[in-house]
Chain A
Amino acid sequence: QVQLQESGPGLVKPSETLSLTCTVSGGSVSSGSYYWNWIRQSPGKGLEWIGYIYYSGSTNYNPSLKSRITISIDTSKNQFSLKLSSVTAADTAVYYCARGFMTRKVRDAFDIWGQGTMVTVSS
C-alpha cells in the first residue's frame, strides 16, 4: 500500500532554513490522480495547512507562510520537499506530508498521511 515518510533535521537554528523531504513508496508522485501536501501541527495552533504541489510542479501556498515557503517535487526520486526559511520558535511543530486525492479532476481530501516529524527551532 502507499506510504509516505518524512525525513529531515529535528533541530533547526533560528533564522535558518528548515528542509524536509517526503518519500512516497507504493505509489507514484507523477500520478495525476493526486496532489501532495505539507501540514504542520503545534500545540498552540492545531493543524495548519502549509501548501501543496502537483506532479507538474504547480503549487499553492498558505498566504501566511508564502514568503518563506518553497515546495518542490522530484519525480525521479518519488519525493517532494518543503523548505521554510527564516524560521523562528513559532515554527516548532510536527510536520506532516499527506496525499490529497482528486475526484473528477477536482481536489479532494487527504487520504494518506506520513507519520510526522517533530522539528524544533532553537539555538
Chain B
Amino acid sequence: EIVLTQSPGTLSLSPGERATLSCRASQSVSSRYLAWYQQQPGQAPRLLIYGASSRATGIPDRFSGSGSGTDFTLTISRLEPEDFVVYFCQQYDSSLFTFGQGTKLEMK
C-alpha cells in the first residue's frame, strides 16, 4: 500500500498569502496518477488537480500542482476566503487507491 503523508496538518495563513501544501508518498508514484481535492465543510471532495499538475475544469489558475516521484505540492498563489478548507492528495498509480490524511487551511 502506498501511504501518502500530507504536511502540515494545519496551515495558518491570511487571505492574499501564498499556500504551499505537501504530499509525500511512501514509494514512487507516477506523476500521471496524483490528484488533489478540496473539501468544503459538509460537502463531498472536489477535484482540483489531476496528473499532478493539470487543473480540473473550472478550477481557478491560482491553484497549481507540481512534483514527481515521492514529493508533490499543491500551491495556492493568492488565498481567497473560500480557500480556507481541507485539501487531500490521492494516488491512483497502484491498484489500491489511497488518500492522504488531509491538510486544513485555516485563516490566521
Q: Tell me if chain B binds chain A.
A: yes
Please report A residues at the B interface, Cβ cutoff 8 Å. 46-49, 60, 62-63, 96, 98, 100, 103, 106-111, 113-116
With A49-B97, A49-B98, A108-B92: A96-B44 Cβ-Cβ less than 8 Å: yes
Please report B residues at the A interface, Cβ cutoff 8 Å. 32-33, 35, 37, 43-47, 50-51, 56-57, 88, 90, 92, 95-102
A98 to B9, alpha carbons, bound, how many Å?
Answer: 25
Main secondary structure of the interface of B (DSSP, over half): loop
The residue on A at minimum CB distance from B98 is: A49
User: Is A107's CB under 8 angstroms from B92's CB?
Assistant: yes
A8 to B100, alpha carbons, bound, how many Å?
Answer: 28
Contact of B46 among A49, A63, A107, A113 (CB under 8 A): A113
With A47-B88, A48-B99, A63-B96: A109-B43 Cβ-Cβ less than 8 Å: no
- State how many angstroms separate the Cβ of A107 from the closest Cβ of chain B: 6
**Set of chain A residues within 8 Å of B45, measured between Cβ atoms:** 47, 96, 110, 113
**Set of chain A residues within 8 Å of B56, measured between Cβ atoms:** 109, 111
